[in-house]
């Protein structure tokens, strides 16, 4: 198979405009926006709602005709948001097999035969190589733990000949992990191993196979062998910690003490509250009986969110480490883990702890323009990467926060998910269900704040559960100040930032996010800054530790952002501190570069292909370049492509701005590669993955979460 470089040359005829300019380093908010020369001024009147205005010459169908695929695409973003879509009753965690239980290709059995989750097939070598020989020179294996009972292969030469597929020829046959890091954590199982092995003649004349290491590239401290060794990856938690968690051997003593107090306090609060609602004496009563918690929250690191920190949203499945690494490279300043569930974290589940890993580029400080207004923020101590958890009950939120902050050295913040709409989460009382349980939510945030040491606590919310009943404003007030009783006794809950997604749970992606509501909330929070200064003066024993960021609660807006124009518009008009971007970043990861440069970038198809190549490289680094790692990379690359192929090159558009809510009618690109990158047929996506990951094994299956994307007739027609 030809290398991807030569393929790109063959396929990419036309050149994209304006993508080779050097990146400017700072966001200039006052820079006038430059539209691409290709596209004329906005002419709203000519636009058909919901349909991307593609120039006539690129259309395949007659004007006005759209395929069924487009009609379903928006709706199916709901499916993509869930882990186990399209069937919302599916309970299986799609990530189980990415690490841990599935590392060797086995899949955990589900109770009740409910494994309706999309199957990707299992991938493993024909004959399994024993770990004792997987990273060592041929003549010096480690002792095999299984001894006599081991059914792994110990004969390296036999394994290389019969145990595995032939080496891949992509990346010029050179292991991309080894090329970057000077060693390869997949050892002899690497599907590019012939590029980093040698046969050496020993003094006695015997010939030994050894893995080569490029010591000029190996960073000091890098663990050179072993499955857990992943160069460039941080927040790796030792297997023993997970074992201890699963055996309940980890003493989460802060949480225990706090929860004991919380139990009593909640009881006191309830009794008084239920006696006589709204009675002045009730609050007084509660105050009189208030007992201090066992300890106070520690002082938190201060955060900063500003116009220069465009933020990548937490994205289940899509927001994996390789994808976030790509986004950071393209200018994302703040990143979030995929949502982890509190309970499995506490049980030591590998899959959920694996989600907490980050790339080293994510632990560098976010961009920051010093101004006098920001109090005591130390940019050098800040980092980009935060984690998100979901929990349905305070003790789960509190204990998992203590565990996260104890075992993960690189955390910007712990964010509590109060927006997840999917049934599986909602029905347990977590995610968006918390929007209707403000007291519970307040207790969670207070408790998380109490046990998280110096790590700030934040929340991500929606407008409300139901469309006709937005509750975010009340909730924001609650998160800023706490209930009146608690405020007087314990101070503010200590929420350092809130992100508001401008949709209700009920609302599907077909309707636009409500930025005027987001703007109202931003104004409300601005009005609090003064109030919180006043409160800080009047609250009994005002405690700075309950007022994060010196009393400033940051506010981010989220929803439908697809370009620098949307971004700047919201910063300026809605007056949010910063903007979080979800689907826009998956469809167009260089949206961050557009924001940085303040202009549209008409990326050529070959340039877009380099992003796919990067994803593949980063995937192999993160998940391994052995059979299993290659196919995990393939699976997540295909998930990425299910969004990435939705991008309509702006050079093909009749009018700007492009909108995330507009679907393209069937069209062809300016060259074959551009057409291929617009395909809605997942078989084409597999072809694209083949360019970098070699042919998919026969067992490989892919069923896109977007049902519409398996609609093939149009793409084949």
Ligand X SMILES: Cc1cc2nc3c(=O)[nH]c(=O)nc-3n(C[C@H](O)[C@H](O)[C@H](O)COP(=O)(O)O)c2cc1C
- Angle at which helix 321-329 crosses helix 605-623, to 10 degrees, equals 130
Query: Are the beta carbons of 93 and 83 closer than 8 angstroms?
Result: yes
**Cα R_g (the chain), whole angstroms:** 27
- From residue 382 to residue 401, the character string flagging contacts with ligand X as x (rule: CB under 6 A) and all else as - is ------x-------------
DSSP 703: -
User: Is 316 a residue that touches ligand X (CB under 6 A)?
Assistant: yes
Q: How far is the CB of 224 from Zn ion (least distance, A)?
A: 13
Which residues fall within 8 angstroms of residue 158, CB to CB, at 6 or more apart? Answer: 127
**What residue 130 binds from Zn ion, ligand X, none (CB within 5 to 8 A, per partner kind)?**
Zn ion
**Nearest residue to ligand X, by Cβ distance, number only:** 582
Query: Are the beta carbons of 500 and 518 closer than 8 angstroms?
Result: yes
**What residue 558 binds from Zn ion, ligand X, none (CB within 5 to 8 A, per partner kind)?**
ligand X
Q: How far apart are CA 449 and CA 629, in angstroms?
A: 37
Q: How far is the CB of 660 from ligand X (least distance, A)?
A: 6
What's the CA angle centered on 358, arms 354 and 361, to 5 degrees?
165
Nearer to Zn ion, 197 or 339 (CB): 197
**What residue 559 binds from Zn ion, ligand X, none (CB within 5 to 8 A, per partner kind)?**
ligand X
Q: How far is the CB of 418 from ligand X (least distance, A)?
A: 8
Site for ligand X in 540-559 (CB under 6 A): 558-559
Q: Give the phi and the psi of residue 479 in degrees, each rounded to 5.
A: -70, -30
Nearer to ligand X, 73 or 403 (CB): 73
Site for ligand X in 579-608 (CB under 6 A): 581-584
Query: Are the beta carbons of 639 and 318 closer than 8 angstroms?
Result: yes
User: Is 522 a residue that touches Zn ion (CB under 5 A)?
Assistant: no
Q: How far is the CB of 83 from ligand X (least distance, A)?
A: 8
User: Is 170 a residue that touches Zn ion (CB under 5 A)?
Assistant: no
Reference 391, options 423, 362, 353, 434; nearest CA is 434
User: Is 417 a residue that touches ligand X (CB under 6 A)?
Assistant: yes
**What residue 152 binds from ligand X, Zn ion, none (CB within 5 to 8 A, per partner kind)?**
Zn ion
- SS3 category, 441: helix
Site for ligand X in 47-86 (CB under 6 A): 77, 80-81
Q: Give the phi and the psi of residue 482 in degrees, each rounded to 5.
A: 85, 170
Q: Which of these ranges, 23-31, 152-160, 306-314, 561-569, lies near Zn ion under the rule CB under 5 A?
A: 152-160
Q: State the Cα torsion 309-310-311-317 to the nearest 10°.
A: -140
Q: How far is the CB of 168 from Zn ion (least distance, A)?
A: 10
Dihedral of alpha carbons 150, 155, 159, 161, sign: negative
**Residue keyed to tokens 């004959």:** 127
Beta-strand ranges (E) seen in 264-334 are 311-312
Q: How far apart are CA 356 and CA 272, in angstroms?
A: 41
Q: How far is the CB of 419 from ligand X (least distance, A)?
A: 5
- H-assigned helices in 298-357: 321-329, 342-346, 350-354
**What residue 490 binds from Zn ion, ligand X, none (CB within 5 to 8 A, per partner kind)?**
none
- From residue 117 to residue 136, the character string flagging contacts with Zn ion as x (rule: CB under 5 A) and all else as - is -------------x-x----
Q: How far is the CB of 153 from Zn ion (least distance, A)?
A: 8
- H-assigned helices in 409-483: 423-426, 438-451, 472-481
Q: How far apart are CA 82 and CA 75, in angstroms?
A: 13
- From residue 180 to residue 209, the character string flagging contacts with Zn ion as x (rule: CB under 5 A) and all else as - is ----x-----x-x-----------------
Q: How far apart are CA 300 and CA 224, in angstroms?
A: 36
Nearer to ligand X, 388 or 606 (CB): 388
User: Is 232 a residue that touches ligand X (CB under 6 A)?
Assistant: no
**What residue 150 binds from ligand X, Zn ion, none (CB within 5 to 8 A, per partner kind)?**
Zn ion
Tell me, by CB under 5 A, how many residues bind Zn ion. Answer: 13
Reading the block at residue 179, the tokens are 């090329």
Site for ligand X in 452-481 (CB under 6 A): 460
Nearer to ligand X, 331 or 559 (CB): 559
Task: State how far the alpha carbon of 559 is from the alpha carbons of 461, 518, 568, in Å.
Answer: 12, 10, 13
- From residue 75 to residue 114, the character string flagging contacts with Zn ion as x (rule: CB under 5 A) and all else as - is ----------------------------------------
Tell me, by CB under 6 A, how many residues bind ligand X. Answer: 24
Site for ligand X in 492-531 (CB under 6 A): 501
Q: How far is the CB of 359 from ligand X (least distance, A)?
A: 18
Query: Are the beta carbons of 168 and 184 closer than 8 angstroms?
Result: no
**What residue 419 binds from Zn ion, ligand X, none (CB within 5 to 8 A, per partner kind)?**
ligand X
Which residues fall within 8 angstroms of residue 40, CB to CB, at 6 or more apart? Answer: 654, 655, 656
User: Is 693 a residue that touches Zn ion (CB under 5 A)?
Assistant: no
Query: Are the beta carbons of 387 and 309 closer than 8 angstroms?
Result: no
Site for Zn ion in 606-625 (CB under 5 A): 625
> Quick one: which of 177, 184, 193, 313 contacts ligand X (CB under 6 A)?
313
Q: How far apart are CA 591 and CA 597, in angstroms?
A: 10
Catalytic residue among 190, 420, 495, 521: 420
Nearer to Zn ion, 170 or 599 (CB): 170
Q: How far is the CB of 85 from ligand X (least distance, A)?
A: 9
Helices (H) and strands (E) in the chain, counts: 26, 12
**What residue 144 binds from Zn ion, ligand X, none (CB within 5 to 8 A, per partner kind)?**
Zn ion
User: Is 430 a residue that touches ligand X (CB under 6 A)?
Assistant: no
Q: How far is the CB of 571 from ligand X (least distance, A)?
A: 15
Nearer to ligand X, 417 or 599 (CB): 417
**What residue 388 binds from ligand X, Zn ion, none (CB within 5 to 8 A, per partner kind)?**
ligand X
Q: Is 453 left (phi over 0), alpha (psi -120 to 50) or beta?
A: left
How buried is residue 579: exposed, middle or buried, by Cβ count under 10 Å (0-12/13-18/19+)? Answer: buried
Pairing of strands 197-201, 207-211: antiparallel
Q: How far apart are CA 607 and CA 714, in angstroms?
A: 26
**Within a 10 A sphere around the Cβ of 375, how many other Cβ atoms?**
10
Q: How far apart are CA 43 and CA 655, in angstroms?
A: 7
**What residue 356 binds from Zn ion, ligand X, none (CB within 5 to 8 A, per partner kind)?**
none
> Quick one: which of 96, 308, 338, 674 contacts ligand X (CB under 6 A)?
338
Catalytic site includes residue 418: no
> Quick one: which of 33, 150, 209, 374 contacts Zn ion (CB under 5 A)?
150
Which residues fall within 8 angstroms of residue 713, CB to CB, at 6 or more apart? Answer: none
Q: How far is the CB of 296 from ligand X (least distance, A)?
A: 29
Mind telling me the catalytic residues?
Answer: 420
Binding footprint of Zn ion on the chain (CB under 5 A): 130, 132, 144, 146, 150, 152, 175, 177-178, 184, 190, 192, 625
Binding footprint of ligand X on the chain (CB under 6 A): 77, 80-81, 313-316, 318, 338-339, 388, 417, 419-420, 460, 501, 558-561, 581-584
């Amino acid at each position: 198979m030809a290398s991807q470089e030569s393929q790109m040359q063959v396929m990419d005829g036309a050149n994209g405009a304006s993508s080779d300019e050097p990146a400017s380093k700072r966001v200039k908010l006052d820079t006038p926006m430059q539209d691409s020369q290709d596209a004329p001024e906005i002419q709203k009147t000519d636009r058909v709602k919901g349909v991307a205005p593609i120039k006539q010459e690129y259309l395949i169908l007659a004007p006005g005709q759209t395929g069924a695929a487009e009609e379903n695409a928006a709706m199916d973003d709901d499916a993509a948001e869930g882990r186990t879509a399209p069937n919302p009753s599916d309970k299986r965690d799609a990530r189980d097999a990415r690490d841990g239980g599935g590392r060797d290709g086995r899949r955990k059995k589900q109770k009740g035969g409910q494994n309706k989750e999309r199957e990707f097939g299992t991938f493993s070598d024909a004959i399994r190589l024993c770990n004792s020989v997987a990273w060592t020179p041929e003549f010096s294996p480690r002792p095999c733990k299984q001894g006599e009972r081991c059914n792994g292969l110990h004969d390296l030469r036999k394994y290389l000949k019969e145990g595995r597929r032939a080496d891949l020829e992509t990346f010029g046959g050179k292991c991309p992990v080894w090329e970057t890091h000077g060693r390869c954590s997949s050892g002899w199982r690497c599907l590019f191993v012939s590029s980093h092995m040698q046969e050496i003649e020993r003094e006695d004349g015997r010939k030994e196979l050894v893995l080569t290491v490029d010591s000029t590239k190996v960073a000091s401290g890098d663990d050179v062998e072993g499955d857990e060794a992943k160069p460039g990856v941080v927040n790796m938690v030792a297997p023993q910690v997970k074992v201890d968690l699963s055996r309940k051997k980890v003493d989460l003593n802060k949480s225990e003490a706090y929860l004991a107090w919380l139990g009593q306090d909640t009881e006191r609060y309830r009794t008084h509250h239920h006696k006589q609602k709204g009675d002045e004496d009730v609050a007084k009563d509660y105050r009189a009986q208030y007992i201090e918690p066992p300890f106070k929250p520690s002082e938190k690191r201060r955060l900063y969110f500003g116009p220069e920190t465009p933020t990548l949203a937490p994205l289940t499945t899509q927001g994996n480490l390789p994808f976030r690494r790509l986004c950071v490279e393209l200018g994302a300043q703040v990143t979030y883990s995929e949502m982890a569930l509190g309970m499995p974290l506490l049980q030591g589940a590998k899959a959920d702890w694996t989600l907490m890993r980050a790339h080293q580029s994510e632990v560098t400080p976010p961009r920051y323009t010093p101004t006098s207004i920001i109090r005591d923020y130390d940019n050098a101590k800040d980092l980009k990467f935060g984690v998100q958890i979901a929990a349905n009950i305070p003790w789960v939120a509190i204990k998992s926060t203590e565990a996260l902050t104890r075992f993960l050295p690189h955390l910007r913040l712990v964010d509590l998910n109060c927006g997840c709409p999917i049934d599986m989460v909602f029905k347990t009382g977590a995610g968006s269900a918390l929007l209707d349980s403000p007291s519970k939510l307040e207790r969670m945030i207070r408790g998380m704040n109490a046990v998280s040491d110096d790590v700030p606590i934040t929340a991500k919310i929606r407008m409300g559960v139901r469309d006709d009943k937005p509750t975010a404003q009340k909730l924001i007030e609650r998160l800023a100040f706490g209930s009146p009783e608690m405020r007087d006794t314990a101070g503010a809950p200590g929420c350092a930032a809130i992100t508001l997604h401008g949709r209700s749970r009920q609302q599907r992606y077909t309707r636009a996010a409500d930025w005027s509501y987001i703007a109202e909330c931003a104004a409300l929070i601005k009005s609090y800054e003064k109030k919180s200064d006043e409160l800080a003066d009047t609250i009994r024993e005002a405690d700075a530790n309950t007022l994060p960021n010196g009393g400033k609660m940051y506010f981010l807006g989220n929803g439908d952002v697809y370009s620098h124009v949307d971004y700047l518009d919201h910063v300026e008009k809605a007056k949010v501190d910063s903007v979080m971007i979800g689907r826009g970043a998956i469809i167009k990861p260089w949206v961050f570069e557009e924001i940085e440069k303040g202009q549209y970038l008409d990326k050529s198809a070959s340039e877009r292909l380099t992003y796919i190549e990067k994803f593949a490289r980063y995937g192999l680094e993160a998940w391994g370049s052995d059979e299993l790692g290659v196919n995990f990379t393939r699976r997540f690359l295909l998930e990425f492509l299910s969004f990435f192929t939705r991008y309509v090159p702006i050079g093909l558009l009749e009018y700007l701005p492009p909108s995330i809510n507009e679907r393209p009618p069937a069209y062809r690109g300016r060259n074959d590669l551009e057409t291929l990158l617009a395909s809605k047929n997942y078989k084409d996506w597999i072809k694209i993955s083949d360019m970098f990951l070699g042919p998919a094994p026969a067992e490989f299956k892919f069923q896109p979460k977007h049902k519409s994307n398996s609609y093939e007739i149009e793409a084949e027609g």
